[in-house]
Structure 1
Amino acid sequence: MTASTRKANDVPSIYVADLAAYNEGELVGRWIRLDDGIAAQDVHREISEMLLERGNEEWAIHDYENLPDSLGEYPDIEELVQIAEAVREHGYMLINGYINYFGSDELSQFSERYRGTYSSLIDYAYELVDDCYDLEKLMGTLAHYFDYEKFARDLELSGDIVAIELCFGEVGIFDSSY
């Protein structure tokens, strides 16, 4: 899904629960939208405002929308805001797959690792060979027998790249060497 086709309800959001109320059997909390331009202090302020309504202090994140669930109940809010920014820029599926594979502490390496989104791993292999090798010059007429499917499989199996399955059969390709 590209940035231009995202809907308003695709905005990354968190549900912050009042733990004192939760422990008393009440569901008290607030959905906080991590819109463009929101800062960590804005999120902390909204959490504080929610807690002050009942005079409580403890909170936890009990639900995520368009953010990886793997972040847990007590993520670093600054990191959470950075992840939300990445989701808005690159889409949930790509960032979720990246964080599930590399970890949220590797988000700063996303731009260096990301090679693009392709309709298949084989399409990536075609582009890589086209951009980096002149098969006609290297192999002559044997270039017509080059097996792109096996080359793509070997790229992934060797660990040179990571292919993250997205939706509609697409794959996000990442360099694993950073």
Structure 2
Amino acid sequence: METVTLSEARVYVGTYNKYNSGSLFGKWLDLSDYSDKDEFMEACRELHKDDQDPEFMFQDYENIPEALISESWLSDKFFELRDAIEKLSETQQEAFFVWCDHHNSDISEEDADDLISSFEDEYQGEYKDEEDYAYEIVEECYDLPEFAKTYFDYSAFARDLFMTDYWMDNGFVFRCA
């Protein structure tokens, strides 16, 4: 999975009129320069002020999940989501999009703060593998004497944990909701 960094999102904005007339004229706009969609759309109108009633065409984009953009549409939720995930670390942001994919969350429609809250409830961290997570659970939750830890079957414990209570993708561990 390619890492998406919403704070570095950019869009190449042209118009259908220019495109249909054989021109690819447009410009890359960094969405970090705009506080909301209205401000972004105003910049698009200013860029293409020579078109009467321009129909914008987002010909290319970077660092924006496909659920938030298409050739002729940018989700109203983009700026809300961008601002909400800024408090997450880069690793957590990557895990957030893995989590969204797993849950089939419609990030273009759902409330950003609710999504972040649900993600934070389920996200456990980044681990080498399931057994690595099992080691941490044993250390944190069980008061085993050192000699018992040498006999403990971490592999079987991990298998049991991930059968029903947890899931892992791309090294990120999540608690099942």
For normalisation by structure 2, the TM-score amounts to 0.67
Q: Aligned equivalents of 2:31 and 2:125: distance in 1?
A: 25
Kindly provide the amino acid, as one letter, of the partner of residue 46 in structure 2. E
Q: Structure 2 vs 1, CA of residues 131 and 71 (structure 1 numbering), >3 Å: closer, same or farther? A: same
CA RMSD of superposed structures (Å):
3.1
Paired residue for 2:43? 46
The partner residue of 1:107 within 107, 115, 134 is 115
Q: Which residue of 2 aligns with 1:90?
A: 89
Q: Distance in 2 between matches of 1:157 and 1:41?
A: 46
Q: Between Structure 1 and Structure 2, how many residues are aligned? A: 158
Matched, 1:29 2:26: yes
CA–CA distance in 2 between the matches of 1:55 and 1:121?
Answer: 58
SS of 2:150's equivalent in the other structure is helix
Distance 1:36 1:132 in 2: 46
Identity %: 28
Q: CA deviation at 1:143?
A: 4.5
Separation in 2, partners of 1:118, 1:125: 10
SS in 2 for 1:32: strand
2:133 match: 124
- 1:23, 1:150 → 2: CA distance? 62
1:11–1:35 CA contact under 8 A, matched in 2: yes
Q: Displaced runs of 4+ in structure 1, greater than 4 A?
A: 140-143
CA distance 1:12–1:87, shift in 2 (3 Å)? farther
Once residues 68 and 82 of structure 2 are traced to their aligned partners in structure 1, the CA distance between those partners, rounded to angstroms, is 12
CA-to-partner distance for each residue in 1:86-126, whole Å, 9 max, x for gaps?
26843363343233223223733222222222233322222
1:147 alignment partner in structure 2? 153
Measured in 2, the distance between the counterparts of 1:120 and 1:174 equals 12
CA contact (8 A) 2:168 2:174 kept: yes
Question: Which amino acid in 1 is paired with 2:166?
Answer: I
* Contact 1:12-1:84 within 8 A present in 2 as well: no
Q: Pick from 58, 61, 64 the counterpart of residue 64 of structure 1.
A: 61
Partner residue, 2:167: 162
2:153 pairs with 1:172 = no
Normalising by structure 1, we get a TM-score of 0.67
Q: Which has the higher helix share?
A: 1
Moved more, 118-127 or 30-39: 30-39
Unaligned segments of structure 2, at least 5 residues: 1-6
Structure 2 Cα separation of the partners of residues 26 and 16 of structure 1: 12
Q: Distance in 2 between matches of 1:17 and 1:150?
A: 56
Aligned to 2:3: none
Gaps of 5+ in 1: 1-9, 166-170
